[in-house]
Amino acid sequence: MWNEESDWIGSFDALLARLAECSMCSRRSGERPGAAQMDVKILDVAAEGGYGRVFRCLDVHTGALVAMKQITMVRLSQGIPAQIIREVSLLRELHHANIVKLLRVGFTENRYVNLVFEHLDYDLHQFIVNRGYPKDATTVKSFMFQILSAVAYCHSRKVLHRDLKPSNVLINHSKRLIKLADFGLAREFADDFLYTEKLGTSWYRAPEILCHSRQYSTQVDLWSVGCIFAEMVIGQPLFQVINCRDELEGIFKLLGTPTEETWPGITKLMPNLHIYCSKFDPLGLETFVTDLEPSGLNLLSMMLCLDPSKRISAEASLKHAYFTDVNWI
Amino acid sequence: MEFDLENPLENLHSDDVSYLFLIESDHTPSQNHSQTLKARDLDISVRRELISLISQLSCALDPVLSYLAINYLDRFLTNQGILQPKPWALRLVAVSCISLTVKMMGTEYPATDIQALLNQSDGGIIFETQTIQRMEALILGALQWRMRSITPFSFVAFFIALMGLKESPMGQVLKNRASEIIFKSQREIRLWGFKPSIIAASALLCASHELFPFQYPFFLKAISDSSYVNKEIVEQCYKVIQDIAIEEEYSSALNGVSRSDTPINVLDHHFLSSESEKTNGITVANATDSPLGDLKRRKITGCGGNNPTILNSWIQPCERECEK
């Protein structure tokens, strides 16, 4: 038994070494483990999270700045994390100017999965917090157009992002270029599939997810984009401003408690809707989102629409009057 | 509550449709490799064993998951082959393919259950997490991390819409039967090299020929007219699938006499356990037990049978066959 397994593992490692030379896992034999295996030189740590770390690096071949996301596997009981497999698989086939480019994937020391991405200067969250949010209406419109272009592209490729929020929107400073990132919660959608995960950051989570519906689709991303839109205008998360016990209460306080008339099927979806039966009169988006031109407010209201079936799609958003003003291009 | 799902394929936006057709080759076992593999009987039998193992281990899961796991296996085999198959190594490959499928499709499948699958071996071999991790890494690398589920099921709705049967009862019946055909024919190595869209189109044509023979010419034209499908290749694939269906029918009949064919028995059990459940919108019926299966048997005996009613009802198909 021991000999058999030992022998097999030996040949297994040989196979692994050979595979490491495939195009997605570029590597040279003999190099030191770690960053060198990924053909990058580490400059500093850009971010840390529960999953692992993000390093700012130099690409050894091109000299370009890159970002390496390193996920630790050592304590995981389930092998390679599902989030990584999905992120790579989906990004592998998403090629768009407004979606971050995945350059390489590799394993090091049998402990880490390393994802090498193109580098961008900062994310939208940092942009809003540190630079006093884009008060410039043209910048908001440009950012929104790029975000929606990327989302429309994903949806046309049958991919839901499911975790859209400012920190997952990256910005190239000099070009004012937007790129969507972090597809770890992304997944393909199909006609009859029930999704089982409750996910996404709470302030950006669509009401149908908060209602624990397991049957949702592209509309969840549009709700998140709407939250981002509002945040760019007012400088802080919309549903943080509306201070409530939970996110649903905040949503209903802003937009009004739904009824069978405004959201057909809601009483079946939310049997406990009576908890909110104090039936908020809607405060209205205009109460909080000031300084947004009327067509922008109209688009925002179509994104932050309670009934998913009536919510605007990314493709339709791009054709909205808010973007037809030629001046901003 | 049913959302109005946006399905680009059904909207027939050319950009959206062409996308899936463009990338599906990356999710198909290479035809060149399948030629090489066909020459190695050992690997063919190993593949058959692995498929039985995957079907066995994943019988509690959505059938689409087991289909995708087998797709990963096939692409892995064309890339790597299996040099010295040992029972425990085969089990590790099978479980790793299932594990990767579960992760990719986001199904809630507790890690403890996957661990239990690993330990089902009679040999009592217990794999360490690190070993699973390495095998997963090996498979991911071999497949170049292309793990999306681009399978024939991705294309069925599109072709049903082309046939003018979108959201119709006839379309649902065809979808169910085509799905069953797709599941069962996956075991057949002769289908390697055919792209998922070709397999989907051929399965639908087989189903329509079987269930709605008078409308078949219309459906054939609708699919042949599509610029996304090569008519000659569909014809080739159709013949292979038809042969498989015929062999399947004989095997099912033989099952009444002898149940020695393990793969078929395993699959029959698999589909029987799924029969009463709607999984992913697909109702998989066992042809052997269904009225259709009965009809098929009558059709065979009816050509020489004494029952005038049955004979009369099959006059036209019989004549067509005689003309050939």
Q: Does A80 touch chain B (CB under 8 A)?
A: yes
Structural domain of B197 = 152-254
B260 pLDDT above the threshold of 90 = no
Range picked from A107-116, A218-227, B9-18, B249-258 for highest mean pLDDT: A218-227
pLDDT digits (tens, 9 = 90+) for B185-243: 886 777 878 889 999 999 999 999 888 998 889 798 898 888 888 888 898 899 888 88
Q: Does A37 touch chain B (CB under 8 A)?
A: no
Q: Which residue of B has its CA nearest to A270?
A: B1
Please, are residues B51 and B73 in contact by the beta-carbon 8 Å criterion? yes
Residues B106, A89: C-beta atoms closer than 8 Å: no
Asked if residue B282 belongs to a domain, the reply is no
SS3 assignment, position B39: coil
Residues B118 and B209 in one domain: no
Please, are residues A215 and A204 in contact by the beta-carbon 8 Å criterion? no
Backbone angles phi, psi at B13, to 5 degrees: -70, 125
CB atoms within 10 A of CB A120: 20
Closest CA to B103 of A277, A81, A262, A281: A81
Residues B67 and B126 in one domain: yes
What pLDDT, on a 0 to 100 scale, did the predictor assign at position B41? 57
- B8 vs A22, A156, A195: nearest CB: A156
Which residues of A are catalytic, by number?
A: 163
Asked if residue B177 belongs to a domain, the reply is yes
Residues A16, B141: C-beta atoms closer than 8 Å: yes
Mean pLDDT of B148-161: 87
Question: Which two tokens mark A45?
Answer: 């740590």
Question: Which two tokens mark A206?
Answer: 């669509």
Please, are residues B235 and B245 in contact by the beta-carbon 8 Å criterion? no
**Half-sphere exposure (Cβ direction) of B319: Cα atoms closer than 13 Å:** 5
The span from the CA of A79 to the CA of A139, in Å, is: 43
Please, are residues B224 and B262 in contact by the beta-carbon 8 Å criterion? no
Closest CA to A195 of B3, B151, B284: B3
Give alpha helix (H) positions in chain A.
2-19, 82-91, 124-130, 137-156, 207-210, 219-234, 238-241, 247-255, 266-269, 285-288, 294-303, 314-318
Terminal alpha carbon distance of chain A: 68
Residues A190, B280: C-beta atoms closer than 8 Å: yes
A158: left (phi over 0), alpha (psi -120 to 50) or beta: left
- B148 vs A89, A219, A313: nearest CB: A89
Q: Which residues of A touch B19 (CB under 8 A)?
A: 156-157
What pLDDT, on a 0 to 100 scale, did the predictor assign at position B30? 67
Residues B5, A1: C-beta atoms closer than 8 Å: no
Q: Does B25 touch chain A (CB under 8 A)?
A: no
SS3 assignment, position B177: helix
Mean pLDDT of A302-325: 90
User: Where exactly does CATH 1.10.510.10 map onto chain A?
Assistant: 122-323
Instruction: Kindly report the CATH number assigned to the domain that includes residue B198.
Output: 1.10.472.10
The span from the CA of B55 to the CA of B67, in Å, is: 9
Q: Which residues of A touch B125 (CB under 8 A)?
A: 1, 5
What pLDDT, on a 0 to 100 scale, did the predictor assign at position A183? 84
Determine whether B102 is exposed, middle or buried from the number of CB atoms within 10 Å of its CB (0-12, 13-18, 19+). buried
Angle between helix A294-303 and A219-234 (nearest 10): 140
The span from the CA of A116 to the CA of A67, in Å, is: 6
A60 pLDDT above the threshold of 70 = yes
Q: Which residue of A has its CA nearest to B19?
A: A157
Angle between helix B153-162 and B196-211 (nearest 10): 50
Class of domain A122-323: mainly alpha
Asked if residue B37 belongs to a domain, the reply is yes
What pLDDT, on a 0 to 100 scale, did the predictor assign at position A200? 61
Residues B144, A15: C-beta atoms closer than 8 Å: no
B286 pLDDT band, cuts 50/70/90, is: very low
At which of B237, B254, B271 does a domain end?
B254
Residues B189 and B122 in one domain: no
Residues B43 and B135 in one domain: yes
Residues B124 and B191 in one domain: no
A19 pLDDT band, cuts 50/70/90, is: very low
User: Where exactly does CATH 3.30.200.20 map onto chain A?
Assistant: 34-118
> What percent helix, strand, coil does chain A show, rounded to 5?
45, 15, 40
B295 pLDDT above the threshold of 70 = no
pLDDT digits (tens, 9 = 90+) for A34-49: 676 688 888 888 877 6
Closest CA to A226 of A164, A282, A170, A184: A164
The distance from CA B169 to its chain's CA centroid, rounded to whole angstroms, is 22
What pLDDT, on a 0 to 100 scale, did the predictor assign at position B177? 86
Q: Which residues of B touch A313 (CB under 8 A)?
A: 6
Q: Which residue of B has its CA nearest to A190?
A: B7
What pLDDT, on a 0 to 100 scale, did the predictor assign at position B209? 87
Q: Does B3 touch chain A (CB under 8 A)?
A: yes
What pLDDT, on a 0 to 100 scale, did the predictor assign at position B33? 52
Integer CA distances (angstroms), A51 to A96, A108, B110, B167, in order = 26, 16, 20, 43
Asked if residue B38 belongs to a domain, the reply is yes
Q: Which residues of B touch A22 (CB under 8 A)?
A: 141-142, 144
Residues B48 and B111 in one domain: yes
Asked if residue B19 belongs to a domain, the reply is no
**Half-sphere exposure (Cβ direction) of B175: Cα atoms closer than 13 Å:** 27
The per-residue DSSP string of B103-153 comes to HHHT----HHHHHHHHTT-TT-----HHHHHHHHHHHHHHTTT-----STH
A150: left (phi over 0), alpha (psi -120 to 50) or beta: alpha
- A89 vs B131, B147, B280: nearest CB: B147
CA distance A150 to chain B (A): 14
Asked if residue B60 belongs to a domain, the reply is yes
Integer CA distances (angstroms), B156 to A145, B91, B197, B207, in order = 34, 32, 8, 12
- The mean pLDDT of chain A is 78
Count of residues making up chain A: 329
Q: Which residue of B has its CA nearest to A7?
A: B84
Range picked from A83-87, A224-228, B214-218, B313-317 for highest mean pLDDT: A224-228
Residues in a beta bridge with A41: A58
> What percent helix, strand, coil does chain B show, rounded to 5?
70, 0, 30
Asked if residue B233 belongs to a domain, the reply is yes
B283 pLDDT above the threshold of 70 = no
Residues B124 and B166 in one domain: no
Q: Which residue has the higher pLDDT, B59 or B141?
A: B141
Residues B146, A92: C-beta atoms closer than 8 Å: yes
The distance from CA A178 to its chain's CA centroid, rounded to whole angstroms, is 13
Residues B103, A86: C-beta atoms closer than 8 Å: yes
SS3 assignment, position A14: helix
Residues B129 and B217 in one domain: no
Residues B148, A77: C-beta atoms closer than 8 Å: no
Residues B139 and B203 in one domain: no
CATH topology of domain A34-118: Phosphorylase Kinase; domain 1 (3.30.200)
B67 pLDDT above the threshold of 60 = yes
Backbone angles phi, psi at A204, to 5 degrees: -115, 15
Residues B212 and B244 in one domain: yes
B21 pLDDT band, cuts 50/70/90, is: confident
Closest CA to A45 of A76, A72, A70, A81: A70
Beta carbon pairs, A and B, within 8 Å: 140
Terminal alpha carbon distance of chain B: 51
What's the order of all strands across the beta sheet hosting A112-118?
A40-48, A52-59, A65-72, A112-118, A102-108
Residue type, B299: K
Backbone angles phi, psi at A128, to 5 degrees: -70, -45
- The mean pLDDT of chain B is 67
Backbone angles phi, psi at B192, to 5 degrees: -60, 140
What pLDDT, on a 0 to 100 scale, did the predictor assign at position B79? 73
What pLDDT, on a 0 to 100 scale, did the predictor assign at position A64? 92
The strand ranges marked E within B226-283 are none
What's the order of all strands across the beta sheet hosting A177-180?
A122-123, A169-172, A177-180
Mean pLDDT of A211-233: 86
The distance from CA A83 to its chain's CA centroid, rounded to whole angstroms, is 12
Tokens 């609708």: give the residue.
B222
Number of domains chain B is built from: 2
Asked if residue B320 belongs to a domain, the reply is no
Mutate: best of A12, A19, A109, A112, partner B, most B CBs <10 A: A19
Residues A88, B149: C-beta atoms closer than 8 Å: no
